[in-house]
Amino acid sequence: MAEFLHTPFTVLHLMACAFLLLVILIQPGKSGGLGALGSGGAQQVFGGSGAGNFLTKTTWATAGIFFFTSISLAYLSSSTDESMRKHSQALQKQREQNSPLSGGPVKSAPPAGSSK
């Protein structure tokens, strides 16, 4: 199940990362910054203080999604490492059972000088 969830969480994480970057850069800062490029249009759409309030809430929501996906991906990564370790141990046991040193039935080659 971890493999099934890993891809959607990764896509959501990357989308949240890109959107968070954009939302932070659009916000008008104290010194203007990149928010000066679009802050006039945002004030017309959301009102005088509505743009700041809306962008702040959007930033918090996107940051929450980003942190949730970060923690989820870290958990999925650690849980798949354990399952891979168990699978590796099972393969190692299988190889030990099939190896010639385990005492199982092994056909030996005739001696080098024999005519058989």
Kindly list the distances between the CA atom of residue 45 and the CA atoms of 16, 41, 54, in Å, as whole numbers in the listed order: 23, 6, 11
Q: Answer whether 24's CB lies under 8 Å from 59's CB.
A: yes
Mean pLDDT of 2-12: 86
Q: Are 59 and 35 in contact (CB under 8 A)?
A: no
pLDDT tens-digit map of 73-116: 998 887 666 666 777 788 888 888 876 665 555 566 666 766 65
95 in a structural domain:
no
Residue 89 lies in a domain: no
Within-domain flag for 2: yes
Q: Per the domain annotation, does 42 fall within a domain?
A: yes
| Full-model pTM | 0.54
Q: Within a domain: residue 8?
A: yes
**106 within domain boundaries:** no
- Residue 95's pLDDT is 82
d(CA 19, CA 11): 12
Q: Domain of residue 55: give its range.
A: 1-26+38-82
Q: Is residue 72 part of a domain?
A: yes
pLDDT at 71: 94
pLDDT tens per residue, range 43-74: 555 555 556 688 889 999 999 999 999 999 99
Question: What's the confidence (pLDDT) of residue 61?
Answer: 95
Specify the pLDDT at position 107.
60
- The answer to whether position 114 is within a domain reads no
Is residue 39's pLDDT more than 90? no
Contacts of 23 (CB under 8 A, 6+ apart): 55, 58, 59, 62
16 burial level (CB within 10 Å; 0-12, 13-18, 19+): buried
How many structural domains does the chain have?
Answer: 1
Per-residue pLDDT, averaged over 26-35, amounts to 65
